[in-house]
Every structure is written in structure tokens, then in C-alpha cells.
Amino acid sequence: MKLFFSITLGILVIWSLIMGLTGLPASPDGRVKLVWVSDDNPARRAQVDLFNQQNTRACVTLDPESSGKEKVVVQCLSGVGPDLLDIFDGFELTAFVKAGIALDITKELEQRGISIEHDTWNGTHTTALLDGRAYGFPRGACADALLFNKTLLDQKGLKPPGPFIKGDEFLKLAQALTIRDDHGRIRQFGFMFEWWQYGDFLRQWHAQIYSDDGTRCLLDSPEAIAAIQYMYDLIWKYHVMPTPAEASALPSGGGYGSGKINMFGNGQAAMALAGRWWLVVLRNKDNFPELKFGVSECQFGPVRQYRAYCAVTAINRFSRHPDKALDFLLYMASPEYNNLINRQADSMGPIKKYSKSGIFLNATNYPDEAYNSVWIETMERGIPDEVSPFVNGAAANRIITRQLDLVANNLKSPQEAMQTAAQLINEEIIKTVASDPKLRKFYNERIGR
Amino acid sequence: MKNSRRKHRDIWAGLAFIAPNFLGFMLFLLVPVIFSLVMSFSNWNLMKEVSFQWVGFRNFFDLFHDREFWLYSINTVYLMLGIPVCIALSLFLANLLSKQLRGIVVYRTLFYLPTFTAGVALFVLWKSLYNPEYGPINAAIRWLLERAGTAHVELPSWLSSAKNLLGLHPEQIMIGVREFFGLGAREAIIIMGIWVAAGGTNMLLYIAAISNIPPDLYEAAEIDGAGSWAQFRHITWPQLAPTTFFIVIMGFIGGLQGGFEQARVLTAGGPAGTTTTLSYYIYIKAFEEFQMGYASAIAWVLFAVIFAITLVNWTFGSRKIN
């Protein structure tokens, strides 16, 4: 027994040492295996496959199980992180940079003549660049537009909107497309959005979350209040949007955002504020055989601007193969990758010029999609989320979400909610600045103290 | 001499056998626990640009001025309101399942099933049950209301509602606020918790304890003419006191530490933070906001509270039992 125990222990120790020293085994053809923490879906797999076919030095494996900022940070700092990771907003970028995880690739991109500022969409910049340095490369970019169900419009005898509509026309359509049953319950909603899309509405009312210098939260401004009031009115005044209770009562599928996509695809909502990435699901005729839809640029508020957003892929500074991981980021700047993204409709390719080419505008595989110029227009007018260096983005987001929850449930007026949000975020700014001498100095410089 | 050598060898063998477990305990429990205590006095936040500093009791001081901490403490305590109901139901079930019936093992297994079903699967199931429009719970309530002639009463929205039975305000430490009266996400979690835990470990403990009660006591009581209720009140309940005491203490500890999975899977802590408990707040502070020092401080305050309550329970409870 003792002999068995000792041998087992010995084998385990030796095995652990070997695994620890060698890391991931190379692929059978001798290429280095890189791990990319990203969501696993058919589109992503095709993107990885194309790289693996092209590159002779490395091959990429997806690790969807480790996705989530908290897991990635802890894994990276403890030395067992992936080679490549995704960043979804400016706050996450700041967190990954400040934690010393995201590798600075400014010089490498410069050497290859790639400029994030000039070559990629404006909406990607705050997620890829920090203080003028590049810490990743966008894997796609998006700005939301109005999706409408052509069949439901036909049934109501309504003409589909053109490539650009304004708030009044939108509201008439939304009201006409909201249908109730005999009990007065809404059977079909005219419109729907997710509350985390509030940034779209803020942009269109010329509101900002933070002042330009980032020292103050401006959610209590009349513009921000008006934007949130409009969102509230769509539910509680015009009744074209489901309340949170109604939304939770509707059947929904699994996966990120797929509940709302299914609602639109199944005709439970006639219009939706959505990104181009919805098309990956909506194109599937097995799921939605009857669905025919179009896309319009919709200006709800007084300003023709949209919220642009993206996902950026960065290299883990502790990766054993940063040079090979860089190959993958450079692949994202290639025409092959960009054309693939544009074909797949997994948002839009990060490099602007490829999206403006004839390949994208005249998509032959999907002749119904004659609206690709709308996506370009919204991207051109897209503005990324603001980031304040003086507040923890996750804390600010939590405060805003909480207030929006109360507004959505009709438990607090938009004005009160935004005033509370601004007050709490400003308190958070003061607390953050007070706890960090370096940041305090920077803050004082900005406010001219 | 030979015996002593053999004894020595046995000690070494014994130590070798417990070494992996002990190393695991040291590495994954004791060291992190001590580390978190030390870190609770620092500003450690995973951001290497922010210089590491010892901040003394500042995290603890900030904590007591943190409104969210108090609101989430209230949420935690509120979710514990289900514990007495849960214990009563466990006792009731244990009583029933202690009877000598045919197929009793099958019944016991059926009631124990939720305990060894994966939490996430249960939460997804309950999410469907709580669907305000199509869920069977609201369908049953609707049916009852129609029979009672009060069909106009608004049905609960369950997981998407910030309402609660005490009218707690989601942002302020206030009770009895009219617009927040009703059934909401907190009650939904409490009911689900009762369903899961009633037939769980507590029930098994009670069954084991009931089987240890000497049958002579019941026989004597029967001879004296005691009915079922009198037998329960004067024999079963007092005999089960040590078990109840243990279950109450474990319930308190579990309740104060609980709520994380439900918040993470079912509600993301919402709506408006009403299902965020202290354990979920620790997670938010540590792994979403990276404020490890502050999160450690919350964890240690939570530990102190649990320790104090257990001590009080122990001191007064055990005196009563004895």
C-alpha cells in the first residue's frame, strides 16, 4: 500500500512538473497552439479556421469556458492565462492595462504601417487605445440601427421605412405595429430595445455621461434626462415597448442577447434597435423561415449620432508566444479577415476601407440585404462610449443600471433617477481620487486646482 | 525497540497519507484566508499602476459608511426569512417519512432529489415557473383569484419586480414604503430556496434524530392517553432540540453566506440591486471592480457577524437545550 501511494505521488509530481514546464502541447504539425478566450459560435470558429489555414507558425484554439473579465484577470496574473483575450469597452481596457495584462503593441503596428486611429472605425478607439498607445486590435465594430419586420408591415398595409427615418415617423410605425388581443394584452410589440442601449439615446440627445475632462458625471443634464425620458415614454406613455415584466413573460432562448433576437425573429416585436451581429442568427432560415426584414438608420432624438461599440482582442503580456499572438492580431487587419467578417455579418470588419468596398456593399450571397450602406452610415456617425479615468467603470455602470432598472419598472422618474446616478457617480469619483495620490494629482491638474 | 521503530514508521505513513489533504487545506484555505485578512488592511486592487499601500482600518471605516453595504445586508437578512419556514417543513417531512410505510425509501429519495440536482438547472426551471404570463405559478394564482372573484388583482412579476412583503425601499433603509409592497424577486428566491432545502440535508438530519428517539417514550405516552400532537409536543420536539439547534446554527451561517448563485444566474443582483446579497457584493467588489482589499474587508466583517451570531446562539441556545 505504501509503495503504491509513493509511486502514485511520484508520478503525479513528475507529471505536474512536465506539464508546468512544457505548457500546451504543440499541434501535430509542429505549430504553436495559442489559446483565445472568446465566445464560441460558428462565426468565430470560421474566423479561427481561416487563420489556422493561413498561418504556418501558430494555430488558435478557442477557450469559451474562461470568458469573463474576472476569470481572465485572475488567470493571467497567476501565470495560467490565455495568449489572446477580448476587451469590450474602455473601462475593461483600462483595467487590463493597469493590471499589466494587455501588451502594448503600438510599435509593432507602426512598423507594419497599421494605424488604429486612421484605419479602423472611430467606435473602436476607446476600447483599443489608451493614452495614445495601442493595446489590442478590434475584431469587429458596430453601431445600432433599426431593424423592421417587412412581413408585419405588409400585414398592416404599411410602407417599409426608407434608409433614414426620424423619430416622428418611427413612433407612428411603432404605434401602428403594436397589436393587442381581446383581453387588452399586447400580442405584438411595435418596438424593443435593451436598457443597456441607453448610450444610443444619450448620443441622440447630445448628452454625455462624463464631462470632456472626465472629472464630472453629467447624467443629470437636461439632455441626458430627456434621452432617458424618451426611453421611459416608449414603455409607459406610448406603450410600444414591453415593460420588464412583459419582457420577462415572453418566451426567450439562451445565449447573449438571443432572447430579444428571437422575439424579433418570431414576430413578437415588429422593430428593434439592433447591431449588425443580429444577422448571424436572423439569417438562419431553419429558425425563422418566414422572416423578411430591412434596416433603417433611425434618428430618435435631435442629433444624428449613434453609439458605436466593438470588441478588441489583446495579447496577454504573460503569453509565452507574444510574437505568434501578434500574427493573429495582424490577421485581423487583413482583407481576408475583414471580408469574412463582413460576409458573416458578425458586426463589421474593423478596417473601414474593406467595408466600403463593393464586396460588402453588393453582397451577392444575400441579395435581400440591399441595406449595407445603412450600417456604414451609422458607423461613420458612431461615437464610442466615454471613459473617465477617475472612476471605476464597473462601479459607475452598476449605479446606472440600478437607476435604469427603477425607471424601467416605473418606480422612479427619469429625472430623479439620473440625478441620483450623477450624484452617486460623482461621489464615487471623489472617493476614487482621494484614495490614489497619483490620480489625485492628475485630477487636480484637470480641474485647474 | 522493534515496536518503537514500527510505531515511527506508522506515524510517517499516516502523515504521508494526510499530507495531500493538509497541503490542499494550507494552500487553498488557510493561506488565502490569512492573506485576505492581511489584504483587508490594504488598498490592493489588482491595478499595478495604483501603488500598494497599507491603509489601516480605512476599508472597515468606509464599509460602515457604504450605503450599498447596508442595503445588501438587509437583502441578505430578508432572504433568510425563509429559514424558519424551511426548518418547519423539513421537520414536517421528516415526521411523515419516519413512518413505516411501503416504499418509504422512494419517497425519501424523491424529496432529497432537489438537493443533488445542479443549482443552475434548478434556477432555469424556476425561471420558467416564475414567468409572469405563462408560468404555472401565476396561472395557479390567476385561477384562484378568478374563483375568489378578485381577478382584477395585479399578478406578481416575480423576478423582474423590486416589490417585497415588507415594503423595503431598494435605495434607502426604509420599511413600509407603499409602492414597494407586493411579491417580487426576493420572495421568488425565498420560495425557491424553501423548495430546495425543505427536503434536503435538514430533513435527513431530522429523520436520523427521530429514529434515535427511544420507542418506549411513545409507548408510555400512548398508555397515558397522549394523542399525536401531545406526543410530538412533549416527546419528539424536546428530543429533537439538539438537532434543531444544529440546523438553526447552520441555517444562519448558510443564510448569511448565501444568495450568490441565485443572484448570479437568476437576476444578476437586480432588479435595482434587490437580490444582491453580501456574498454577491464581495464578488462584485473583488472581481468586477478589482477592489480586493475592500472586498476582503467585507468578507471579514461578514465572518465577524457570523461568528458573533453563532456565539450568541451557542451560549444561549445550548443553555436552553441542556
Task: State the pLDDT confidence band at A436, using cuts at 50, 70 and 90.
Answer: confident
Nearest 10 degrees: CA dihedral of B102, B107, B109, B113?
170
pLDDT band at A255 (very low <50, low <70, confident <90, very high): very low
Interface check A410 vs B, CB under 8 A: no
Kindly determine whether residue B157 and residue A248, on different chains, have CB atoms separated by under 8 Å. Answer: yes
Query: From the centroid of its chain, how far is CA B166?
Result: 20
Instruction: Confirm or reject contact between A20 and chain B (CB < 8 A).
Output: no
More confident site: B5 or A240: A240
The residues on B that touch A, with CB distances below 8 Å, are 13, 16-17, 20, 43, 46-51, 62, 131-135, 157-162, 170-171, 179-180, 270-273, 284, 286-291
| Contacts with A156 (C-beta within 8 Å, 6 or more apart), sequence order | A176, A177
Contact residues on chain B for A5, CB-CB shorter than 8 A: 16-17
Cβ of B162 within 8 Å of Cβ of A100? The answer is: no
Q: What percent of chain A shows pLDDT beyond 90?
A: 63
Cell numbers at residue B301, please?
466583517
Assess A13–B contact: CB distance below 8 Å, yes or no. Answer: no
* Mean pLDDT value of segment A314-321: 94
Chain B positions touching A259 (Cβ under 8 A) are: none
- List chain B residues with pLDDT less than 50: none
DSSP class of residue B245?
A: H
Do residues B68 and B284 lie in contact, with contact meaning Cβ atoms separated by under 8 Å? Answer: no
A245 has a pLDDT exceeding 50: yes
The number of beta carbons lying within 10 Å of the beta carbon of residue B274 is: 29
Q: Is A345 left (phi over 0), alpha (psi -120 to 50) or beta?
A: left
The ranges of chain A annotated as CATH 3.40.190.10 are 24-143+308-384, 145-307+389-446
User: Rg (Cα) of chain B, in Å, rounded?
Assistant: 25
Nearest to B50 among A5, A403, A436 (CB): A436
Q: pLDDT band for position A293 (50/70/90)?
A: very high
Q: How many Cβ atoms are within 10 Å of B218's Cβ, its own excluded? A: 14
- Provide the pairing of β-strand A32-37 with A58-62: parallel
Alpha carbons A177 and A293: distance in angstroms, whole number: 14
Please report residues of B whose CB lies closer than 8 A to that of A438: 49-51
Please report where in the chains the cell 415584466 appears, as a residue. Answer: A245
In chain A, whose CA is at the least distance from the CA of B170?
A: A406
SS3 B193: helix
**Cβ distance of A409 and B162 shorter than 8 Å:** yes
C-alpha cell at A123: 467606435
CA pair distance A200, A305, nearest whole angstrom: 8
Confidence of residue A12 (pLDDT cuts 50, 70, 90): confident
Which residue of A100, A395, A411 is in closest CB contact with B289? A395
Q: Higher model confidence: residue A313 or residue A246?
A: A313
Nearest chain A Cα to B134, which residue? A249
Any idea which residue has 497567476 for its cell?
A78
- Within 8 A by CB and 6+ apart from A380, the residues are A122
| pLDDT in the model for residue B2 | 64
| Chain B residue whose CA is closest to A411 | B179
Cβ of B157 and A244 within 8 Å? yes
- Counting Cβ atoms within 10 Å, is residue A349 exposed (0-12), middle (13-18) or buried (19+)? buried
* CB-closest option in B135, B159, B288 to A70: B288
Chain centroid offset of residue A164 CA? 23
User: What pLDDT shows up at residue A27?
Assistant: 67
Q: Does A245 touch chain B (CB under 8 A)?
A: yes
The whole-angstrom distance between B128's CA and the closest CA on chain A is: 9
ipTM of the complex: 0.81
Cβ proximity of A394 and A228 under 8 Å: no
**Residues with Cβ < 8 Å from B148, sequence gap 6 or more?**
none
List, for residues A344-377, the tens digit of each pLDDT value.
888 999 999 988 877 776 666 777 788 888 999 9
Residue scoring higher pLDDT (A187 or A170): A170
Distance CA A64, CA A38 (A): 5
Residues in chain A within 8 Å Cβ distance of B157: 244-245, 248
Flag if A69 and B288 touch (Cβ within 8 Å). yes
Asked whether residue A286 carries a pLDDT value surpassing 90, the answer given is no
* Residue A247 at interface with chain B, using a CB cutoff of 8 Å: yes
Q: Is A353 touching B (CB cutoff 8 A)? A: no
Nearest CA in chain B to A76: B46
Assign domain A24-143+308-384 to its CATH superfamily.
Periplasmic binding protein-like II (3.40.190.10)
Q: Under a CB-based contact definition with an 8 Å cutoff, are residues A318 and B48 in contact?
A: no
Contact B47 A95 (CB under 8 A): yes
Cα dist from A143 to A197, A269, B47, whole Å: 11, 20, 31
Cα–Cα nearest to A305, from A227, A394, A418: A227
Dump pLDDT digits (tens) for B76-122.
999 999 999 999 999 999 999 888 888 888 888 888 888 888 778 88
pLDDT value of residue A253: 44
* Partner-chain residue, chosen from B17, B131, B287, that has the shortest CB–CB distance to A70: B287
Q: How far apart are CA B285 and CA A431, in angstroms?
A: 15
Least Cα distance to A139 among A115, A164, A158, A120 occurs for A120
Q: Over 50: is that where the pLDDT of A256 sits?
A: no
Q: Which residue has the higher pLDDT, A372 or A252?
A: A372
Nearest neighbour of B48 by CB, restricted to A98, A248, A411: A98
Interface test with B, best of A67, A88, A401, A402 (most B CBs within 10 A): A402
CB A350 within 8 A of CB A310: yes
**Closest chain A residue to B274 measured between Cα atoms?**
A402
Residues of A in Cβ contact (< 8 Å) with B43: 435-436
Helix or strand or coil: residue B151?
coil
> How far apart are the CA of B37 and the nearest CA of chain A, in angstroms?
19
Residue A100, chain B, CB below 8 Å: the answer is yes
Tell me how many residue pairs between chain A and chain B have CB atoms under 8 A apart. Answer: 99
A16 touches chain B (CB under 8 A): no
Closest partner CB to A73 (pick from B46, B134, B157):
B46
Instruction: Label residue A416 by pLDDT band (50, 70, 90).
Output: very high
Distance from CA of A3 to the nearest CA of B (A): 10
Predicted confidence band of residue A254 (pLDDT cuts 50, 70, 90): very low
- Which three-class secondary structure state does DSSP give residue B124? helix
Which pLDDT belongs to residue B111? 87
Tally Cβ neighbours within 10 Å of residue B270: 23
Q: How far is residue B118's CA from residue B139's CA, in Å, rounded to a whole number?
A: 26
d(CA B226, CA B218): 9
Tell me whether residues A406 and B171 touch, CB distance under 8 A: yes
Contacts of A69 in chain B (CB under 8 A): 287-288
Is the bond preceding B271 in cis, omega lying within 30 degrees of 0? yes
Candidate from B48, B288, B289 with C-beta closest to A100: B48
d(CA A175, CA A149): 14
In 3D space, the residue among A181, A173, A175 whose CA is nearest the CA of residue A153 turns out to be A173
3-state DSSP of chain A = CHHHHHHHHHHHHHHHHHHHHHCCCCCCCCCEEEEEECCCCHHHHHHHHHHHHHCCCEEEEECHHHCCHHHHHHHHHCCCCCCEEEECCHHHHHHHHHCCCECCCHHHHHHCCCCHHHHECHHHHHHHEECCEECCEEEEEEECEEEEEHHHHHHCCCCCCCCEEEHHHHHHHHHHCCEECCCCCEEEECCECCHHHHHHHHHHCCCCCECCCCCCECCCCHHHHHHHHHHHHHHHCCCCCCCHHHHHHCCCCCCCCHHHHHHHHCCCECEEEECHHHHHHHCCCCCCCCCCEEEEEEECCCCCCEEEEEEEEEEECCCCCHHHHHHHHHHCCCHHHHHHHHHHCCCECCEHHHHCCHHHHCCCCCCCCCCHHHHHHHHHCEEECCCCCCCCHHHHHHHHHHHHHHHHCCCCCHHHHHHHHHHHHHHHHHHHHHHCHHHHHHHHHHCCC
- Hey, are the CB atoms on B289 and A392 less than 8 Å from each other? yes
Question: Among A126, A124, A70, A131, which residue's Cα sits nearest to residue A101?
Answer: A70
| Nearest-CB residue to A98 (from B43, B47, B133) | B47
Distance from CA of A189 to the nearest CA of B (A): 15
Asked whether the beta carbons of A109 and A118 are under 8 A apart, the reply is no
Q: Smallest CA–CA separation between B306 and chain A, in Å? A: 27
Query: Does the distance separating the beta carbons of B47 and A2 come in below 8 Å?
Result: no
Angle (deg, nearest 10), helices B201-211 and B82-97: 50
> Side chain identity at A207, as an amino acid letter?
A
Which CATH homologous superfamily contains domain A145-307+389-446?
Answer: Periplasmic binding protein-like II (3.40.190.10)
Residue that wins the pLDDT comparison between A91 and A234:
A234
Chain B residues touching residue A398 (CB < 8 angstroms): 284, 288
At A50 the pLDDT is 96
Q: Looking at the predicted structure, is the pLDDT value of residue A252 above 60?
A: no
Domains and their CATH numbers in chain B: 57-321 (1.10.3720.10)
Quick one: closest CA in A to B181, which residue?
A411
Asked if A394 lies within 8 A of B180 by C-beta distance, the reply is no
Nearest-neighbour CA in chain B from A391: distance (Å): 10
C-alpha cell at B258: 448565501
Between chains, do B271 and A405 touch, taking CB under 8 Å as contact?
yes
Range list of β-strands (E), chain B: none
A252 touches chain B (CB under 8 A): no
